[in-house]
Amino acid sequence: MSELSLSQVSTGYGRIQILHDIDLRVGDGEIVTIVGANGAGKTTLLRVISGLIGIWGGTVTFKGRSLSRSSVEARAGLGLVQIPEGRQLFGSMTVEENLELGAYCRRRDGRPFLEKRDEVFTLFPRLGERRRQQAGTLSGGEQQMLAIGRALMAEPEMLLLDEPSMGLAPLLVKEIFTTLRELNSRGLGMLLVEQDARIALKLADRGMVMERGRVVLEDKASALLDNPEVQAIYFGQHGGGGGSRTENE
pLDDT of residue 147: 94
Q: Is 208 exposed, middle or buried (0-12, 13-18, 19+ CB in 10 A)?
A: buried
The answer to whether 144 touches 87, Cβ cutoff 8 Å, is yes
pLDDT of residue 244: 36
pLDDT of residue 105: 61
| Residue of 58, 59, 56, 61 lying closest to 80 (CA atoms) | 61
Separation of alpha carbons 238 and 56, rounded Å? 32
Separation of alpha carbons 59 and 67, rounded Å? 8
Instruction: Kindly report, as residue ranges, where domains of CATH 3.40.50.300 are found in the chain.
Output: 1-79+156-242
pLDDT of residue 243: 39
pLDDT tens-digit map of 130-168:
999 999 999 999 999 999 999 999 999 999 999 999 888
Q: Which residues have a Cβ under 8 Å from the Cβ of 114 and sit 6 or more positions away?
A: none
pLDDT of residue 202: 96
Q: Is 157 left (phi over 0), alpha (psi -120 to 50) or beta?
A: alpha
pLDDT of residue 102: 85
| Cβ neighbours around 43 below 10 Å, total | 22
pLDDT beneath 50, residues of the chain:
237-249
pLDDT of residue 118: 94
Helices then strands, counting H and E runs in the chain, come out as 10, 10
Separation of alpha carbons 4 and 24, rounded Å? 8
Distance linking the first and last C-alpha atoms of the chain: 30
Work out the angle at residue 123's Cα, subtended by the Cα atoms of residues 105 and 33, and round it to the nearest 5 degrees. Answer: 70
Q: Which residues have a Cβ under 8 Å from the Cβ of 247 and sit 6 or more positions away?
A: none
Separation of alpha carbons 165 and 172, rounded Å? 8
Read off φ and ψ for residue 236, nearest 5 degrees: -85, -15
Q: Which CATH superfamily is domain 1-79+156-242 in?
A: P-loop containing nucleotide triphosphate hydrolases (3.40.50.300)
